[in-house]
Amino acid sequence: MAGLINNLLIPFLVFQNICLGFRSPLSLFKRYKDTTRSLSSECLGSDRPVISLGLSDFALDIRMPGVTPKQSDTYLCMSVPLPVDDEAYVVDFKPHASMDTVHHMLLFGCNEPSSTENYWDCDEGTCKDKSNILYAWARNAPPTRLPKGVGFRVGGETGGRFFVLQVHYGDISAFRDKHKDCSGVTLHLTQQKQPLIAGMYLMMSVNTVIPPGEKVVDADIACHYKRFPMHLFAYRVHTHRLGKVVSGYRVRNGQWTLIGRQSPQLPQAFYPVEHPVDVSYDDILAARCVFSGEGRTTETHIGGTANDEMCNFYIMYYMEAKHAVSYMTCTQNANPEMFRNIPQEANIPIPVKSDMLRMTHGHHEETKDTDKSSLLQQAKKEEEEILDQDFHIEEAVEWPGLDLKLGQVSGLALDPENNLVIFHRGDHVWDENSFDSKFVYQQRGLGPIEQSTILVLNPSNAKLLRSMGKSLFYLPHGLSIDKNGNYWVTDVALHQVFKLGADGKEALLVLGVALQPGSDKNHFCQPTDVAVDPITGSIYVSDGYCNSRIIQFSPNGLYMMQWGEETSLGRARPGQFHIPHSLALIPDFSQLCVADRENGRIQCFRLETGEFIREIKHKSFGRQLFAVSYVPGGLLFAVNGMPYPGGAEPVQGFVMNFSTGEIIDTFIPLRKSFEMPHDVVASEDKTVFVGDVHARVVWKFTSTEKMEHRSVKKAGIEVQEIKEPETIVEARLKNNPESTDPLKKQEKQHLVRQASTGVSFVLITTLLIIPVVVLLAILVFIRWRKTTVYGADGDHKLDSSSGRILGRLRGKGGGGLNLGNFFASHKGYSRKGFDRLSTEGSDQEKDEDDGTDSEEECSAPPPPPAPSSS
């Protein structure tokens, strides 16, 4: 009997210990209940956000707190904290939404929501730190089921402590009765450790354009997989109204294996992968969306509104816990050629019954007029955007900002009011004496710059609006401005990054240790630039001249991660830097692009992971690329540096298509010359500003529509549409095939600059025509006299003579009148300021005009030939 009791007692004690090992969620729910937000009485969901489901399981109800959106295409967010402190796992989802009111919902996990309000406009962001998509719903989708033993990890040391729900209200006609919406999702969570961790892989096209009336348009996405094996168990497709079918595949050794294929017009659920698919290192994940532009009168682009389109293929996967990655994305097409072999099924639309379409879309007859008006407005906007694509960037020669008295111009930015902000060095100069071999600043005795280093100008007339930054900095470098108007600057002498308020009076945040270079988490070594994510608030610093890395900090300045390494011998590999000099944050595509200066290229990385995406490199960049700037809508601007000895690439600005990397246009100033253009910034109307650290000036460039120089027929008469004489000169030069000969290009620049100094084109033309007419009159008279006196032999002699005279005017090439050489041969004409600068790369180069020290900066010691610094 005693033995029996012992046998029963041992399992009981073991079970009791196990029970004590788990902290009952009920012990934590009371604390949670005190902090939860009450829902509107109109909400139909449970008034108990947390419901115990047993010893270690519980349900968490996440609902909008009774909202009424006021306009279509509103994105609203709300957050709910994880009600337990320890690690937990989401193992099931149950949506509560209808397509009648909600276009789609996304659930994110993170540690710090963008707001502490009951709910907020998602334009303010979802999370301040990195966020992961846990769940997505749209179009009356059924619940998602996770395999046994699989869960999304939340809480603890590595998982997010908050859930953020984002709801997109597309068409708000259902809210005419002013009712309150409480859409959301219920989560089933457990505190039992799961052996397999779930994650989300998002494949998304970002640059697809659907022409109006086009029957079939394909959007293809493909990425190489470079991580530990993952197992795919569910997929979801998402487009708007023009999508016909979306298919996803794993491609291994040329073999295409279907992950999932579905019509996006059916309920957009996570459907189970019918046959298990695993993905290993170096496999390719590929997806295709098939669209039709029939019924549209204008181009349709990828975008966030209901009248735009999307091409998304979501994959739910699981990995072993020790290798788990919670979120990955793919937004490129790494191998367009391989889609020639895509299975034919990917091109065949899936038929959808009309009653299913009505159920899925939740159409309302009374919204037809609203939709029509919205479509017309969208069409007008798209037509304007299409016209804007045919443009050329030219200097705004009337802009008086070129006459400003500045120090070395190191940084430019536009504030939220679109004012131009200049960051310059006043009377300080970066030269060969500024740093020792260990990058310690050697001129501290000079003290900080006494002049205002930050100038805010009216971009139209260059009028000074305000100035700041006295006695704060030693050697200014990078400048950016966040969406709240705060200034973010770097100082290469102090080895620090500063956040200044809009008044610029005091530092709100300082990163790095003053005057101490270093390479750890708390030090920088001559940091060059800073960028702030407008969505998450994350801070990215390019570090720098003597480090080769990008560092990410939280909005509060806490170190999060870094990536990058020094360039190895031979060809620079992805993720390697030789002076990461300038940053451009592209929130549209969640990318950060870096001007890798001495490698003469742009590298773009994924914001959330630092994963390399692509390189943009052109021969015309030359050996150096100084700065890069992005304009919403898909344009990338950049400026390069002086060519190395033997190089022929001119110093110029570039306009590129961000999606393709293709150069659309190049530009140079008409007044003065680029010497070392150090930074560039552009606005959405394609107004561009370039700051030059050597010339100590800022140029303004504007967009000129090429259509303004075309010939049009009015009442049967061809009319040449023109604006200004200077514009005509530039247009004619640009319409000629651009010569690769530097001498010809230099002559062309002489002509343009001479026109811009105030000499009228009409006056020049008149001065040239008069002597030619007189000369021809003399020749005709002589020919008549010769014919009269000498006969036919005189004709031959005169032709030879006149040919020699006109030949001298035309120049050796005989290709037209060379005004550059023509003016240069006249007394009083000066080339000062117009000749091509010396291509010597020395940091000790002198200014020939005044004999003072060069305004060039010194760089970190690079491999020979030594580049200049800035």
CA nearest to 435, candidates 544, 345, 349, 537: 544
Q: How many degrees, rounded to 5, is the angle at CA 392 between CA 387 and CA 393?
A: 125
Quote the distance between the C-alpha of residue 711 and its chain's center.
36
DSSP letter at 620 equals G
Two tokens, residue 523: 């030090």
Q: Which residues pair with 168 in a beta bridge?
A: 75, 104
Task: Report how far residue 823's alpha carbon sits from residue 825's, in angstroms, rounded to the nearest whole number.
Answer: 5
Q: Which residues pair with 200 in a beta bridge?
A: 316, 327
- Contact of 274 with 261, CB cutoff 8 Å: no
Quote the distance between the C-alpha of residue 143 and its chain's center.
35
104 part of the active site: yes
DSSP letter at 446 equals G
Q: Which residue is catalytic, options 64, 166, 328, 754?
A: 166
**CB-based contacts of 760: which residues, under 8 Å, 6+ apart?**
725
Residues of the chain with confidence (pLDDT) below 70 = 1-48, 139-144, 353-390, 705-768, 780-870
796 part of the active site: no
238 part of the active site: yes
pLDDT computed for residue 215 by the predictor: 92
Q: Is residue 486 helix, strand or coil?
A: coil
Q: Which residue is catalytic, options 188, 238, 424, 477?
A: 238
- CA dihedral over 816, 817, 818, 820, signed as positive or negative: negative
Two tokens, residue 655: 């306009």
pLDDT digits (tens, 9 = 90+) for 431-488: 999 999 999 999 999 999 999 999 999 999 999 999 999 999 999 999 999 999 999 9
103 part of the active site: yes
Q: Is residue 154 helix, strand or coil?
A: strand
- DSSP per position, 160-174: -SEEEEEEEE--GGG
166 part of the active site: yes
pTM passes above 0.85: no
**CB-based contacts of 8: which residues, under 8 Å, 6+ apart?**
none
- Contact of 72 with 367, CB cutoff 8 Å: no
- Contact of 71 with 305, CB cutoff 8 Å: no
Cis peptide before 650 (omega within 30 of 0): no
- DSSP per position, 57-68: EEEEEEE--SB-
Q: Which residue is catalytic, options 99, 200, 230, 310?
A: 310
- Contact of 474 with 494, CB cutoff 8 Å: yes
Q: How many degrees, rounded to 5, is the angle at CA 311 between CA 308 and CA 315?
A: 145
C-alpha dihedral over 329, 331, 336, 340, to 10 degrees? 70
Q: Which residues pair with 868 in a beta bridge?
A: none
Cβ atoms within 10 Å of 563's Cβ, excluding its own? 15
Quote the distance between the C-alpha of residue 66 and its chain's center.
35
Q: How far is CA 207 from CA 535, 648, 837, in A?
A: 21, 34, 40
Q: Which residue is catalytic, options 168, 392, 424, 678?
A: 168
Q: Which residue is catalytic, options 96, 103, 188, 618?
A: 103
Q: How far is CA 844 from CA 427, 545, 673, 832, in A?
A: 18, 18, 20, 21
Q: Which residue is catalytic, options 240, 424, 477, 581?
A: 240
- Contacts of residues 681-684 at CB distance under 8 Å and 24 or more positions apart, as own/partner, are 681/412, 681/413, 681/414, 681/420, 681/629, 681/637, 682/629, 682/631, 682/635, 682/637, 683/414, 683/418, 683/459, 683/631, 684/631, 684/632, 684/633
Quote the distance between the C-alpha of residue 171 and its chain's center.
29
Task: Report how far residue 197's alpha carbon sits from residue 176's, in angstroms, rounded to the nearest whole number.
Answer: 43
Q: Which residue is catalytic, options 64, 96, 99, 104?
A: 104
